[in-house]
């Protein structure tokens, strides 16, 4: 991203000789897809083309009573599938969320990068990392790499190092950065296998997740498992510990080394926050790195921008997001336990059993005795589940209790009181205004809000705050609505990328771009701005986008303002967009009616707002100050 977007020379080192083949995360949330849409549109489109078939019911969960028999009764289905999914979201986003396993994502990305001449140097691992320190003349990080094929060492100095090396990050360890939180909430095993019979059953009734409830599958110590050898093919297996941890800090060595992804945080796999938070870490970091590099090369050393202060904002902004996402993930884990609780099956008792089985007295017994004791305890613990089967027999003594248990479970699932995958507030509604977002997030983690986390609205003044609605607030992402530019349909999320393509830089440098978005009704503000002196940074790093609509009225005044802006060379580039009245939503009207202008950061988040009727007149000095404040919102 650094090299292709901003022409920053980058070296990518990877210890693994090939992309992982073991599925891990599988959910690309809406904000992640928006990031890919805005920064790597070709890869975004390829993901959609290679994604699961449109017949797949989104957020559709199935309970299986047998491994190769999938019923057609739907437990939960939140939204439409395939093309209809993207259509249902078109007023909210230019794209859609996606079910795409991480191993396939990495393979597809690896191929895409190779096609675009981005080299990943595989089979090389980090051996040593020496950081620049305060009081030291050394300004670069000293890195020692080991080539696994030849076992040879290579030493080098780098301006910046990004550690994206996973939960057991060596970069983090060598930087001496501690993790805060729990590292062993549960021990989990994953098995990646293929089955012809299961594939056939899944094609007949596709879903995103299947929960296997067959007793023989759920046993802790299964025996006499009957599986055809020629049907099951185990591809890989892995064991890992579920944790909820966040690094104490995201940078080290005078802001020369940074952590992203699992190296900086680990969440329980409940809600799909892990991989998505990591990708969004990178999105926040790369433009700040590029801006620090570009600014320090543009001006004499005496006037250099304090790149350390600029880069410190990465950790401040993303650290809070990770902490809140950790809390949401843990809340989701607790909500998943509602179903076992409704079935009178205690997770705490299961944990006690696991500790008992692994205790020293049990280990002294013969293996056969250990197994018999464990199975007897399991039979007692699972006795309430037998009432579910009796519920099907109206004459059975447990039918009434079993029916009540089934009713509780059905209510939990139907009303989204348990596991969830869609959290619009935390997905696209999070803010880098730390104080306001922390207060709102706390309320949004209450059960009443999480029950409605998969709902959204785009109408103004409708519903309550528990349902997500796009808003124009400093720190939040600039809302999406559709426009036309030179006859092409575009989203407001295309602004930064298209502004860079229209860049007026004589050197051909891909300057990091802020975008000043102005409604057509307030063209006079821009005319005034173009008549006053502005700093060179504005001409290099700020583009202007006019949002015109049929309600603007005096189109001649708008035309004059656009011409003035284009000839004044105050901005890096000037674009005139026509709001699509039919395809757009009421959010567009909210901006045009209530705001003079918005300064949008390179990552699409609002850095500053000037409201209609305010006393402020936008000046070059004010724009420069707003740029500086926009960089550091937390």
Q: Which residues contact residue 414 at a Cβ distance below 8 angstroms, ignoring those fewer than 6 apart?
A: 76
Query: What does residue 31 show for φ and ψ, rounded to 5 degrees?
Result: -65, -40
pLDDT of 382-411, one tens digit each? 666 665 555 555 555 556 666 776 777 776
Q: Distance between CA atoms of 396 and 158, rounded to whole angstroms?
A: 73
Give span(s): CATH 3.40.30, the chain. 482-631
Question: pLDDT above 90 covers what percent of the chain?
Answer: 35
For residue 66, pLDDT beyond 70: no
Q: Count the neighbouring beta carbons within 10 Å of the beta carbon of residue 501.
A: 11
> Considering only CA atoms, which of 275, 262, 286, 260 is closest in space to residue 1?
286
Closest CA to 247 of 313, 316, 349: 316
4-62 tens-digit pLDDT = 888 899 999 999 998 887 777 788 999 999 999 999 999 999 999 988 765 454 555 55
> Strand order of the sheet with strand 232-247?
179-195, 232-247, 265-266
Residues paired with residue 611 on neighbouring β-strands, in sequence order? 595
Closest to 106 in 3D by CA, of 97, 114, 116: 114
Q: Which of these, 126, 240, 249, 131, lies nearest to 179 by C-alpha position?
A: 249
- For 482-631, the fitting CATH number among 2.60.40, 3.30.70, 3.40.30, 3.60.21 is 3.40.30
Each residue of 270-313: pLDDT tens digit?
778 889 999 999 999 999 999 999 887 765 544 445 678 889 99
Helix (H) or strand (E) holding 485: strand 482-485
Average confidence score pLDDT of the chain: 81
**SS3 at position 176:** coil
> What DSSP string runs through 219-272?
-SS--S----TTTEEEEEEEEEEEEEEEES-SEETTTTEEE-GGGTEE--SSSS
Q: Which of 312, 308, 319 is nearest to 134 (CA)?
A: 308
CA–CA distance, 577 with 582 (Å, rounded to integer): 15
The whole-number pLDDT of residue 270 equals 79
Other C-beta atoms closer than 10 Å to the C-beta of 456 total: 23
CB 455 within 8 A of CB 468: yes
Q: Which fold has domain 2-55+82-181+242-336?
A: FAD/NAD(P)-binding domain (3.50.50)
Measured CA to CA, the distance from residue 16 to residue 19 in angstroms comes to 7
Angstrom distance (rounded) from CA 1 to CA 539: 23
Q: Which residue ranges does the chain devote to CATH 3.50.50.60?
A: 2-55+82-181+242-336
Predicted TM-score (pTM) of this structure: 0.85
Identify the pLDDT of residue 221.
Answer: 43
Orientation angle between helical segments 41-50 and 30-39, nearest 10 degrees: 130
Place of tokens 């600029």: 310
CA angle 72/78/79 to nearest 5° reads 100
Positions of E strands within 71-137? 98-99, 120-122, 124-130
Give the model's pLDDT for residue 508: 57
Rounded to whole angstroms, the Cα distance separating 591 from 579 reads: 12
Which residues, listed in sequence order, are joined to residue 456 by a DSSP beta bridge?
468
User: How many CB atoms lie under 10 A from the CB of residue 441?
Assistant: 22
Q: What is the per-residue pLDDT across 120-144, written as a single tens digit (0 to 9) for each?
A: 999 999 999 999 876 666 789 999 9
Of residues 242 and 468, the one with the higher pLDDT is 468
Asked if 522 and 554 count as a contact pair (C-beta separation under 8 A), the reply is no
Measured distance CA(453)–CA(81) in Å, rounded: 19
């Amino acid at each position: 991203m650094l090299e292709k977007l901003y022409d920053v020379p980058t070296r990518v080192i990877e210890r693994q000789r090939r992309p992982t083949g073991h599925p891990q995360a599988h959910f690309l949330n809406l904000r992640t897809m928006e990031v890919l849409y805005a920064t790597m549109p070709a890869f975004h489109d390829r993901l959609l083309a290679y994604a699961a078939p449109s017949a797949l019911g989104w957020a559709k969960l199935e309970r299986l009573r047998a491994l190769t028999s999938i019923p057609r009764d739907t437990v939960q289905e939140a939204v439409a599938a395939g093309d209809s999914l993207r259509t249902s979201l078109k007023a909210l986003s230019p794209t859609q969320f996606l079910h795409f396993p991480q191993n396939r994502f990495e393979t597809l990305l690896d191929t895409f990068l190779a096609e675009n001449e981005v080299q990943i140097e595989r089979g090389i691992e980090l051996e040593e990392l020496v950081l620049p320190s305060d009081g030291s003349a050394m300004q670069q990080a000293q890195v020692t790499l080991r080539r696994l094929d030849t076992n040879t060492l290579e030493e080098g100095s780098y301006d910046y190092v990004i550690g994206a090396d996973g939960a057991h990050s060596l970069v983090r360890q060598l930087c001496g950065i501690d993790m805060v939180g729990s590292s062993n909430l549960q021990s989990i095993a994953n098995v990646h296998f293929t089955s012809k019979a299961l594939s056939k059953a899944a094609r007949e009734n596709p879903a995103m997740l299947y929960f296997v409830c067959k007793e023989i599958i759920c046993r802790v110590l299964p025996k006499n498992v009957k599986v055809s050898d020629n049907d099951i093919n185990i591809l890989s297996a892995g064991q890992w510990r579920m944790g909820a941890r966040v690094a104490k800090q995201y940078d080290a060595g005078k802001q020369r080394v940074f952590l992203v992804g699992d190296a900086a945080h680990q969440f329980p796999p409940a809600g799909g926050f892990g991989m998505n938070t990591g990708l969004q870490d990178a999105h926040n970091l790369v433009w700040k790195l590029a801006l620090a590099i570009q600014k320090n090369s543009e001006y004499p050393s005496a006037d250099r921008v304090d790149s350390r202060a600029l880069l410190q904002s990465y950790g401040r902004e993303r650290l809070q997001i990770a902490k809140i996402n950790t809390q949401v993930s843990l809340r989701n884990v607790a909500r998943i336990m509602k179903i076992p609780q409704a079935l009178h099956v205690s997770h705490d008792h299961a944990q006690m059993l696991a500790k008992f089985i692994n205790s020293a007295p049990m280990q002294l017994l013969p293996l056969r005795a250990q197994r018999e004791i464990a199975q007897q305890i399991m039979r007692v613990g699972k006795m309430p589940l037998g009432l579910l089967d009796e519920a099907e027999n109206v004459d059975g003594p447990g039918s009434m209790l079993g029916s009540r248990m089934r009713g509780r479970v059905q209510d939990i699932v139907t009303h989204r009181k348990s596991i969830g995958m869609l959290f619009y507030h935390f997905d696209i509604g999070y803010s880098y205004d730390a104080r306001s977002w922390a207060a709102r997030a706390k309320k949004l983690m209450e059960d009443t809000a999480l029950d409605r986390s998969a709902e959204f609205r785009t109408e103004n003044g409708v519903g309550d705050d528990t349902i997500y609605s796009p808003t124009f607030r400093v720190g939040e992402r600039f809302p999406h609505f559709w426009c036309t530019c030179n006859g092409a349909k575009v989203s407001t999320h295309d602004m930064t990328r298209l502004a860079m393509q229209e860049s007026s830089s004589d050197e051909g440098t891909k300057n990091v771009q802020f975008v000043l978005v102005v409604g057509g009704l307030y063209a006079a503000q821009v005319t005034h701005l173009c008549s006053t002196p502005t700093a060179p940074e504005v001409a290099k790093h700020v583009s202007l986008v006019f949002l015109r609509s049929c309600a603007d009225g005096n189109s001649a005044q708008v035309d004059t303002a656009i011409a003035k802006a284009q000839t004044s060379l105050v901005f890096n580039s000037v674009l005139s967009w026509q709001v699509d009245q039919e395809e757009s939503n009421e959010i567009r009207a909210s901006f045009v009616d209530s705001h003079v202008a918005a300064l949008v950061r390179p990552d699409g988040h609002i850095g500053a707002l000037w409201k209609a009727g305010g006393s402020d007149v936008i000046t070059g000095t004010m724009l420069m100050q707003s740029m500086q404040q926009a960089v550091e919102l937390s």
